[in-house]
Amino acid sequence: MYSVRMRARRHARHHSGAERLVPGDAVDQAAAAMVRRAMNHSRGRAETIELAIEELDSKQIEYGVLPDVQTWQVSDFHQGRRAAANLLCSLGVGPAAVETAFADMIRGAAPDGGNMRGAMLVDVHSGCRLEPDPARGVRVSRMDLSTEARRNLSRVLQQQDLDQETVREALVLAAKVRMAPGIVAELCWSDDPDYTAGYVASPERGYIRFPHLKPRGDRRGGRAFFVRGACVPLNALLDYLQLRPILFDRVGHLHPPQFWTESGS
C-alpha cells in the first residue's frame, strides 16, 4: 500500500488537498486524479502542486469503522451554530473552548486572519489553543476507504442525496480524528464559499451534519479538534493524526434527518 497526498497553493495560500491509501498499481491513477482536482477546482487553478508518495508497511495499517451519520435540519447558519454549540457542550466541551473555536473560525483562525492549512487543537476545558504552529495547524493524513467500504458508503449516502466527494472525505477525516487519543469532539465547516454545510463529530455521537453553519459566500472555514490537553501527550496525538495510516473497511448507519429546535434536538 502507498500513501498518496496532494497539497496545492494559489496566491501563496492553501488551495486544496487530497489523501488516498492505494495499492501500488493504482498510484499513478490516484496521483493524476489529484492533479486534475487541483487544476479544475472551484477556487481556480492551483499555482503550485506538491505530491507525496510513500510506501507503507502493511503491518502498520490500522483498520476502522466509519461513524454513524445524521443530519440535523436548521433554518439558517445562526440556528446551525447554536445547535452545534449546544451539541458540543452536551459532549463535555467547556464554554470557553466552544467560544474560542467559533470566534477564531468566524474571523479566520490563522494569525493573519485567513484560513489555517490544518486544524486548531483546543483544550476542552480552558479553550487554549495547543497546536504548535498556529498558521499551519494540524493536518490529518494517511487515511482512506477500502474499495468495498467506498462502494458501500456511496450506496448508503445516496439514500439521502449525500453521495458527494466533500461529504465522503469529511467523513473519513472525522472518523480518524475521533479515534485519536484524547479527542472529545470536532467542529468543522468548509472554506468553500458555495458550501454552507458543516458538522460536529465525536466518539460518543458519531457524525452530526448541519446544512448551514456559515453564510453563503463566506470564504472562511476550518476545523477545531477539542482535546483533553492535560490527559494525553501532545506528541502522541500529533503522531496519530499525522502519521498513523488507517483504512476504513466498514461503514456506519445513516439515520433519518431530524429538525433541531431551540429547546434541543
Does 117 score more than 90 pLDDT? no
**CA quadruple 78, 166, 102, 83: dihedral sign:** positive
Helix axes 95-107, 77-90, angle to 10 degrees: 150
182-198 pLDDT per residue, tens:
999 999 999 889 999 99
Helix (H, G, I), strand (E, B) or coil at 109: coil
146-176 pLDDT per residue, tens:
999 999 999 999 999 999 999 999 999 999 9
In total, the chain counts a number of residues equal to: 265
Q: Which of 222, 223, 191, 212 is nearest to 260 (CA)?
A: 212
The mean pLDDT of 42-54, rounded to a whole number, is 89
pLDDT at 262: 82
- What distance in Å separates the CA atoms of residue 31 and residue 39, rounded to the nearest whole number? 13
63-93 pLDDT per residue, tens:
999 999 999 999 999 999 999 999 999 999 9
158-190 in b/e form (b: 16+ CB < 10 A) is eebebeeeebbbbbbbbbbbbbbebbbbbbbbb
What cell does 117 get? 492549512
pLDDT at 264: 57
This model's pTM is above 0.75: yes
